[in-house]
A and B are shown apart, each in its own frame.
Chain A
Amino acid sequence: MLQIKELKAGIEGNQILKGINLEVNAGEIHAIMGPNGSGKSTLSAVIAGKEEYEVEGGTISFDGKNLLELDPEERAHNGIFLSFQYPVEIPGISVSNFIKTSITEKRKAQGLQTLPTKDLLKMMREKMELLSIKKGYLSRNMNEGFSGGEKKRNEIFQMAMLEPKLAILDETDSGLDIDALRIVANGVNKLRTGDNATIVITHYQRLLDYIVPDFVHVLHNGRIIKSGGKELALELEEKGYDWITKEADKKWA
């Protein structure tokens, strides 16, 4: 589904990603872990198409398409979803209106008819239940005055509504208490099918107790320096990052 080859990217002349290789197939969950500043958020921003980042080399293909040629909205129409580490507040637009616009635009791009409001509201109610979201929430302004947990839940709610092929969860767990974490993880697990895939970007092993990955990658200084199964996350939790980063630093020095 997603193939990243030798991806090099940076911002304002600073190279942050120094040659990323990653392959994600349908049905898989990949965790990308790493210390602060290793390039985790840059990788997600580049996949989603944030324009401030310059791609200096390498390729990203998604379902055979050259992703780097597409605008952020076209990437979304093709099935990519990024759950933001810091969801943006948009005062003046209600959650329901935002999601309606988002789904309408996606369907328009896919050549589908507009979903009748009745069906849309029904779908919203179902997904809200899945994420234990209370009723009044739909008429609140997008992320405005939301707690950290509410913002993250709102991200997963949008993901549930947009039904992406590939979801990238950027630090979705940071700042969540354990109850909110369970709800969010439970939502992600329930949305999982054999046709979609998830990349979980995280700092902490804790989330991976709830969203169990098939693959774990360690990102350090712009490169994936180690990949393994879910047991790698446990090892990192126990030993920290130093034992692999030191070795990598020697190699790339």
Chain B
Amino acid sequence: MGLIKNIKSYSEGIQISAEKREILTSFLSNGFPTTKDEEWKYTSLKKVIANEYSIENKGEIIDSSIIEKYSLGLKNKIIFSDGKLINTPIIKGVNINDFSEFESANTDSILQLNKALSQNGFTISVEKNTVLESPIEILFFSTTVNGFSQYRNQISIGENSEVKFIERLQNLNNSASFVNHFTQINCAKNTKVEYNKIQNNTAESQLIDTMNVYQEQDSTCNINTLIFGGSFIRNNLNFEQNGSNCESNMNGVSILNNNQLADNHTFVDHKSAHCRSNEMYKGVYLDNSKGVFNGKIMVRPDAQKIDAFQSNNNLLLSDTSSIDSKPQLEIYADDVKCSHGCTIGQLDDDALFYMRSRGIGIEEAKAVLTYAFASEAIENISVEQVKTLAKKLLAKKLNVDLDFSL
């Protein structure tokens, strides 16, 4: 059995368009990617898809105390329960609707599956000249045991608008849920967008998250990815810059333990001149955890005066943790600044001794150094509540009682 069979039997009982049926048939004959695919070389889906999943989701009512528990307490909340949209805020200049069809350029098999079968997700369109003070919080709850869910979300930001988002997927039982999540963001001219992903799901949960960002001129888009919980996480984050003076920023922090795996694949397609991209991914690996980073930067022939910076720094805090890190630069223009750096290390013994000699116990010293290591990426987040949560989750994950604020 396994997920492919679950999908097959589910799809036989539903009505979908001929086009979707064709996409699905193609997916079912090709199956999920394997480690023979270059993009999945270090991350195996074998175990994930061997599980049995329940595809028909119930959409239970979620108790308000549970919503509160997982919310950052912001007033604008979009809430899903097992795929059903159960709450939409009313915000001036922002239209929030349920799922609607849209085309996506990416043709990987996971997105094909998403395109063929996804019936859930949000559609947000932000009118021109809308500046939101308060971020929009988006919560996706899952109550189905071993539920397989697919979301397909679209955000369009009108010219000169500024919006921030915080997204969280939360499984409300301890089963091995699996989400195939896809979000497309279109940033019109002169827009500013920040999207924060809090990936702190239950221990057995699994996620493939794909985000495609399309930017017009003078737009800035920041995507922050904080990974703490979940057994399997694959993030595909793709930017396409289609106008001059665009800026794409990515900050990532992964703190993993036990047998967790987190894979961050990023791709910045510099198609226009005078644009920038910055990516900073920090990973901390304990126990048997495993990290993968693949950062691709493409600079097209006409994209002159590009400033692209990429860094991936990793701390391996056990003998059995590992990281595979791969920068990939393809540069076809001649007047560009591109740099990348990758480091893999342990905590500095001299720094540990220095702190211990000042009375800071070894576990606390390790936590402070780990925090210091990750903080550069955390500090780039502009939403205070997210920053505070990140610090709290970090201290919790490292099992120390430390207050990082002063």
Pairing of A with B: yes
| A interface with B by C-beta (< 8 Å) | 48-52, 71-73, 75-77, 81-82, 84, 87-94, 96-98, 100-103, 105-106, 109, 117, 158, 162
- Nearest neighbor of A91 in chain B, beta-carbon distance: B372
- Nearest neighbor of B378 in chain A, beta-carbon distance: A92
Cβ-defined partner of A72 (8 Å) among B356, B376, B402, B406: B356
**Cβ A50 vs Cβ B368 within 8 A:** no
CB-CB under 8 A from B359, the residues of chain A are 73, 76-77, 102-103, 105-106, 109, 162
- Nearest neighbor of A92 in chain B, beta-carbon distance: B372
Shortest distance in angstroms between A53's beta carbon and chain B's nearest beta carbon?
11
Q: Flag the segment in B82-90, B141-149, B299-307, B346-354 that touches A.
A: B346-354
CB-CB under 8 A from A76, the residues of chain B are 356-359
Q: Most chain-A CB neighbours within 10 Å: which of B356, B368, B373, B375?
A: B356
| B interface with A by C-beta (< 8 Å) | 348-351, 353-362, 364-365, 368-369, 371-376, 402, 404, 406
- Nearest neighbor of A139 in chain B, beta-carbon distance: B406
- Nearest neighbor of A104 in chain B, beta-carbon distance: B403
The answer to whether A101 and B364 touch (CB under 8 A), given A73-B359, A91-B372, A109-B359, is yes
Q: How long is the Cα–Cα vector from A208 to B155 in the complex, in angstroms?
A: 69
CB-CB under 8 A from B360, the residues of chain A are 73, 101-102, 105
Q: How long is the Cα–Cα vector from A57 to B364 in the complex, in angstroms?
A: 31
Cβ-defined partner of A100 (8 Å) among B351, B362, B371, B406: B406
Q: How long is the Cα–Cα vector from A72 to B352 in the complex, in angstroms?
A: 10
- Nearest neighbor of A86 in chain B, beta-carbon distance: B350
- Nearest neighbor of A80 in chain B, beta-carbon distance: B357
Given contacts A90-B355, A94-B406, 5 further A-B contacts (CB under 8 A): A48-B357, A73-B357, A76-B356, A90-B368, A96-B406
Shortest distance in angstroms between B368's beta carbon and chain A's nearest beta carbon?
6
Q: Report the number of A-B residue pairs with Cβ-Cβ less than 8 Å.
A: 81
Q: How long is the Cα–Cα vector from A51 to B365 in the complex, in angstroms?
A: 15
The answer to whether A101 and B372 touch (CB under 8 A), given A51-B353, A72-B357, is no
Considering the complex of A and B, which 8 residue pairs feature the smallest CB-CB distances, nearest first?
A: A92-B372, A76-B359, A72-B356, A92-B375, A106-B359, A88-B354, A102-B358, A73-B356
Shortest distance in angstroms between B336's beta carbon and chain A's nearest beta carbon?
28
The answer to whether A73 and B371 touch (CB under 8 A), given A96-B406, A97-B404, is no
**Cβ A162 vs Cβ B358 within 8 A:** yes
Cβ-defined partner of B373 (8 Å) among A50, A73, A92, A105: A92
Q: How long is the Cα–Cα vector from A98 to B371 in the complex, in angstroms?
A: 12
Shortest distance in angstroms between B98's beta carbon and chain A's nearest beta carbon?
42
Q: How long is the Cα–Cα vector from A152 to B349 in the complex, in angstroms?
A: 20
CB-CB under 8 A from A90, the residues of chain B are 351, 354-355, 368-369, 372
Q: What are 9 A-B pairs with beta-carbon distances under 8 A?
A: A71-B356, A73-B357, A73-B361, A90-B355, A90-B368, A92-B372, A92-B374, A102-B360, A105-B360
- Nearest neighbor of B360 in chain A, beta-carbon distance: A105
Q: How long is the Cα–Cα vector from A52 to B375 in the complex, in angstroms?
A: 29
Q: How long is the Cα–Cα vector from A143 to B326 in the complex, in angstroms?
A: 32
CB-CB under 8 A from A105, the residues of chain B are 359-361, 364
**Cβ A101 vs Cβ B353 within 8 A:** no
Q: How long is the Cα–Cα vector from A103 to B360 in the complex, in angstroms?
A: 8
